[in-house]
Amino acid sequence: MRPRGRRPGDEDTRQRILAAGRRLFAEFGYERAGMRAIAAEADVDPALIAHYFGSKQGLLTEALRLPVEPAVVLAAVQRAPHDRMGEELVQTMVSTWELPQVREHFLGMLRTAASHDVARDVMQRTLHESVMVAVAGLVEDDPARRSALVMTQMAGLAFTRYFLQLPEVTSLTTDELVAAIGPTIQRYLTGAVD
Amino acid sequence: MRPRGRRPGDEDTRQRILAAGRRLFAEFGYERAGMRAIAAEADVDPALIAHYFGSKQGLLTEALRLPVEPAVVLAAVQRAPHDRMGEELVQTMVSTWELPQVREHFLGMLRTAASHDVARDVMQRTLHESVMVAVAGLVEDDPARRSALVMTQMAGLAFTRYFLQLPEVTSLTTDELVAAIGPTIQRYLTGAVD
């Protein structure tokens, strides 16, 4: 969807607007964060937001993209032995989530999504599309149910570890999480779930 | 902690303030919801907030109480056969969560907690204390780790079903959730988790 013949500065400008949008959506909520304020924060002309993102909601959709591309997780899990897909999924996702910029991104996403129904719906659609596609690429039957179950467990891990920061959850290492939650994901992907 | 010799109208006044606090914390965030605005919403004198809740943070703590008393869940799970505790926990919690007023309460809690670090910390403490106590009453070893794992799964179920309303998750019935997630909780309570 990117325009052809972009100048070298284009990607930098686009990223500045995206970062400014993320910050202001998270701080003030989707509705209260105005286009002018976002443009000022990014130090660009307000018309450039429409140029790069189409609309405020277009910017929101980009701002709420998952910090880990589902395709990357999918590829790692597909390389794993069939009976170790659950462990590999937990390992790959938690390893990425532990990066400080990813944790920040999560908090911003949640703040933004909690601020307004439009933002919540965009986050819902993003997760629905990306996780559904990724999980459907891994399983042989019932991808809707299996992806639902994977989402309940992994979203809850992210929520309690990075947002709520429950001490019992933050104190577990990645290896401990893989050992404890890996079998859950394995069953949700390949075991009996009804 | 309630004052002695309360008049019959006291509990009604207290509940009105609590409901007003919940509404305004969720709509405007913890910081922006002022004591005067909450008092006006509840149609009471602002001094009564301090009288009943001590402070704005005292009101916040009450506003963020879990909609299901952990002791109630604990009692139901303790009555279940040892190998069906996981199913009973999912059954008891989801049955309560399905009540419309509880779903509303969840959304308000999340909006409030996402609005400010103070509110997030209060929600963290509430969950930490109540869920830890409940799970510790059910397990024989390693209550911190087991309660952490139960929280990751159950918080994620609530988050994806009631806040995000992911269609794959909302389409599952209570019975389907018990069948699919019950064994996860059973393993987290009584199985090998390291």
Closest-approach residue (CA) in chain B for A27: B115
Helices (H) and strands (E) in chain B, counts: 11, 0
B128 touches chain A (CB under 8 A): yes
Structure tokens belonging to residue B190 = 């009584």
The verdict on A168 and A88 lying in the same domain is yes
Closest-approach residue (CA) in chain A for B182: A193
The verdict on A145 and A52 lying in the same domain is no
Distance CA B160, CA B77 (A): 24
Chain A residues within an 8 Å CB radius of B142: none
Residue-range definition of the domain harbouring residue B150: 70-190
| C-alpha B100: how far from chain center | 14
- Which residues have C-beta within 8 Å of that of residue A129, sequence separation ≥ 6? none
3 state DSSP class of B133: helix
Distance CA B6, CA A188 (A): 53
* Rg, C-alpha atoms of chain A: 18
> CA dist B188 to A113, B86, B87, B140, B180, Å?
30, 8, 12, 12, 14
Domain CATH code at residue B34: 1.10.10.60
Of B111, B114, B169, the CB nearest to A148: B169
Please report whether residue A3 resides in a domain.
no
- Asked if A24 contacts A38 with a C-beta cutoff of 8 angstroms, the reply is yes
The verdict on A43 and A136 lying in the same domain is no
The verdict on A160 and A76 lying in the same domain is yes
Residue owning tokens 């301090």: B50
The verdict on A97 and A161 lying in the same domain is yes
The verdict on A75 and A58 lying in the same domain is no
B194 touches chain A (CB under 8 A): yes
Mean pLDDT of chain B: 89
At B115 the pLDDT is: 82
Verify whether the Cβ–Cβ distance A166 to B114 is below 8 Å: no
For residue B96, what pLDDT band results from cuts at 50, 70 and 90?
A: confident
Closest-approach residue (CA) in chain B for A166: B124
- Summarize pLDDT for A165-188 with one digit per residue, the tens: 999 999 999 999 999 999 999 999
For residue B7, what pLDDT band results from cuts at 50, 70 and 90?
A: low
Q: Is the pLDDT of residue A8 over 70?
A: no
A184 touches chain B (CB under 8 A): yes
Predicted structure pTM score:
0.86
Q: Is the pLDDT of residue B1 over 50?
A: no
- Asked if A23 contacts A33 with a C-beta cutoff of 8 angstroms, the reply is no
Higher pLDDT, B119 or A5: B119
Number of domains in chain A: 2
Please report whether residue B1 resides in a domain.
no
- Summarize pLDDT for B102-113 with one digit per residue, the tens: 888 888 888 888
Domain CATH code at residue A144: 1.10.357.10
Distance CA B63, CA B26 (A): 10
Cβ neighbours of A106 (radius 10 Å): 18
The verdict on B182 and B134 lying in the same domain is yes
